[in-house]
Amino acid sequence: MKKGCLTVLISFFYFLGSAQDSLFTATDSTILPQAEVYHPDSTLRIINLNPFFTLHVDSTLSYQLQINKNPDNYFWYLKNSPVGLRVNKDNGLLSFNANKSLFLSGRLKYDINYKVNIGVQNLRDPKEKLDTTFTIVFYNTEIIPSVVKPQIFDSTQVEEGESIRFRVLCETGSFPIENILTLPSFPIANYTSVTRCGDEFNWFVPYDLVKETDPGRSKLIKLHFIGTNKFGIKDTGTIKVLIRDALNYPLALEEYNQTIKNVKTYVLDLKYTFLQMDKRLKRTKKVRTTFDLTSATTSVAGTVMTTSDNDEIQKRGKILPSIGLALVPIKEASAPNKVIDQNQASLIRTSIKRLDYLLRDYMLIGERDPDIVKKTTKLREELKQTQIQLIDVPIEFTNNLSEEELNRYFNSPKVNKKYRLSRK
């Protein structure tokens, strides 16, 4: 019984000693007591390495690393360590002063996992060494907001038909902006949306966006770029775009070209009508000239024959002047003088010359003539006025004559001489 009681007491005291050692180890998380008994035949290991350190900026780290062997025979070293992290090579004291200047200068960054290689080696036996790693992260409770900054001023002006393009940049703070939402205040189309920092916004302003009812013939559109970081914190950059009413030049150019085409087509029709009318006037003039020559010939022949000594010839000479007089009403009946046609031909020629002058005077100057609308309107008015003036003239459409043939006939010297105004 005495021997059994002695065994129980020894076991109880051993349990109390173990409990005291465990309680001390749990309450001291920074520096652990060095073991008094070393095991030279066991594998070298670090008995208190923390695999992950989280350190606040402007704080200090002091952590005593321990091994399972006599530390006097070993030295410590670091590899790939961040700036400022040190280890005492003799006793394994890990220290770091997280100075804020290191982060402001960019040498250290927040929320970055720095993986550090640490090792311990025997001074007498180079083969006995241990290499392991741990991670250290720095954080800051002072949050610097990230800001969305478009590349242009807060407001800009453009005209319809122009393009607006700029990049949307970001000023990165504690937490960078990860997504950007493009939100215009007015529904627009055909624009390049911005989704990330550095993306380019590109938009071609369409014509007819500004209505006549808009004040000042302009429209104000706000472009909102809403940036969001990983925590859902938002920042908005706004650009005010003032759009002014402008001429739809491509459409105006099409209208001008169509008006020019209509004028040229009408001029060709007038030239063909003038050609046909001038030919009819030539035939009439030829017939009347034939009658006039015949009448004059008979009168002269009759006068000559009356002076003859032959009575028969004298009788014929008295008849011939009456025949010449009889040809006059026949001439008027068969080939009347077409004064109206002559006047209409002159009017058509004048109208053609006038329209040709207008085509030269109202031609476009430069790639984007600012007076294109005025010139188009003026040509339309002159064309309409000419058509009203010649409304009673039967216009004949060009048949098989080309534009070159019509121009050659119209500008021939004979025609110019015939219809040239005299001083009388």
Confidence band, pLDDT 50/70/90 cuts, at residue 8: very low
Give the pLDDT score at 282.
61
Q: For residue 102, give Cα distances in angstroms to 109, 118, 146.
A: 8, 22, 20
Residue 359 DSSP one-character state: H
Contact assessment for residue 168 and residue 197, using Cβ atoms and an 8 Å cutoff: yes
Q: Is residue 43 within a helix (H) or strand (E), and if so which, with residue range?
A: none
Looking at residues 205-211, what average pLDDT do you find?
A: 87
Angle at 254 between CA 358 and CA 388, to 5 degrees: 45
Please report the DSSP string for 388-406 in residue order: HHTTTS------S--HHHH
Q: For residue 262, give Cα distances in angstroms to 83, 220, 252, 324.
A: 82, 40, 15, 52
Contact assessment for residue 67 and residue 87, using Cβ atoms and an 8 Å cutoff: no
Give the pLDDT score at 350.
84
pLDDT in tens, 39-91: 666 788 888 888 999 888 888 889 999 888 888 889 999 988 888 899 998 88
Confidence band, pLDDT 50/70/90 cuts, at residue 236: very high
Give the pLDDT score at 140.
79
Looking at residues 188-203, what average pLDDT do you find?
A: 92
Give the pLDDT score at 84.
86
Distance CA 277, CA 201 (A): 65
pLDDT over 70 for what percent of the chain?
67
Give the pLDDT score at 148.
94
Residue 84 exposed, middle or buried by CB count within 10 Å (0-12, 13-18, 19+): middle
Give the pLDDT score at 248.
80
Looking at residues 114-118, what average pLDDT do you find?
A: 92
Residue 99 exposed, middle or buried by CB count within 10 Å (0-12, 13-18, 19+): middle
Looking at residues 304-325, what average pLDDT do you find?
A: 62
Higher pLDDT: 374 or 403? It is: 374
Looking at residues 253-281, what average pLDDT do you find?
A: 82
Contacts of 105 (CB under 8 A, 6+ apart): none
- Both tokens of 35, joined, read 């073991």
403-410 vs 249-306: helix crossing angle, rounded to 10: 50
Share the mean pLDDT of the chain.
77
Q: Is the pTM for the entire model greater than 0.75?
A: no
Other Cβ atoms less than 10 A from the Cβ of 390: the count is: 17
Lowest mean pLDDT among 47-61, 135-149, 292-306: 292-306
Give the pLDDT score at 331.
52
- φ, ψ of residue 378 to 5 degrees: the values are -65, -45
Q: Is the pLDDT reported for residue 267 higher than 70?
A: yes
Give the pLDDT score at 351.
85
pLDDT in tens, 241-254: 999 988 888 888 88
Distance CA 235, CA 224 (A): 10
Other Cβ atoms less than 10 A from the Cβ of 64: the count is: 15
Other Cβ atoms less than 10 A from the Cβ of 66: the count is: 18
- Residue 55, CB-side half-sphere exposure with 13 Å CA sphere: 29
- Both tokens of 58, joined, read 């402007």
Please report the DSSP string for 238-291 in residue order: EEEEEEEP---HHHHHHHHHHHHHHHHHHHHHHHHHHHHHHHHHHHHHHHHHHH
Q: Is the pLDDT reported for residue 7 higher than 50?
A: no
Higher pLDDT: 217 or 320? It is: 217
| Domains, the chain, with CATH or none | 29-139 (2.60.40.10), 147-246 (2.60.40.10), 250-418 (1.20.1270)
Give residue for tokens 């099409």: 254
pLDDT in tens, 342-396: 667 778 888 888 888 888 888 888 777 878 888 889 999 988 888 888 777 766 6
Confidence band, pLDDT 50/70/90 cuts, at residue 299: low
| Core vs surface per residue 317-343: b (16+ CB within 10 A) or e | beebbeebeebeeebeeebeebeeebe
Give the pLDDT score at 2.
37
Angle at 87 between CA 86 and CA 91, to 5 degrees: 155
Q: Is the pLDDT reported for residue 398 higher than 90?
A: no
